[in-house]
Amino acid sequence: SYELTQPPSVSVSPGQTASITCSGDKLGDKYACWYQQKPGQSPVLVIYQNSKRPSGIPERFSGSNSGNTATLTISGTQAMDEADYYCQAWDSSTVIFGGGTQLTVL
């Protein structure tokens, strides 16, 4: 079965750029999307179709997807961006989530 691999944790200083990767076999041939989830809250879609931002998502969130890796980039990271982030793709009639990355802003 298809798998998506994320680093368990990423740390970033306020104002710096955070990059969270998501790896899967030929992931670049599929669409990837990203969700943000804060403690006690439901997930929020922050990037869809590799690099598009839904309405209301700040411009500091961007995405890319090529080869075997999709990347979520947060430019000028703010304290409010501290959360868990999940990548997601679709393969063989199955929705697949990555294991999640805890982003710490310190």
Partner 1 sequence: EVQLVESGGGLVKPGGSLRLSCAASGFIFSTYSMNWVRQAPGKGLEWVSFIRSSSSYKYYADSVKGRFTVSRDNAQNSLYLQMNSLRAEDTAVYYCAREWHRDSSDLDVWGQGTTVTVSS
Binding mask 20-59 for partner 1 (x = CB under 8 A): -----------x-x-x-x----xxxx--xx----x-----
Nearer to partner 1, 12 or 35 (CB): 35
Q: Does 2 bind partner 1 (CB under 8 A)?
A: no
Nearer to partner 1, 79 or 94 (CB): 94
Nearer to partner 1, 13 or 100 (CB): 100
Of the ranges 10-18, 19-27, 74-82, 93-101, which one interacts with partner 1 (CB under 8 A)?
93-101
For the chain, give the DSSP string: ----B--SEEEE-TTS-EEEEEE-TTGGGS--EEEEE-TTS--EEEEBTTTB--TT--TTEEEEEETTEEEEEESS--GGG-EEEEEEEEETTEEEE---EEEEE-
Contact between 36 and 102 (Cβ < 8 Å): no
Total of chain residues touching partner 1, rule CB under 8 A: 25
Considering the complex, what minimum distance in angstroms separates the CB of residue 76 from partner 1?
24
As given in the structure block, the two tokens for residue 26 are: 């030929």
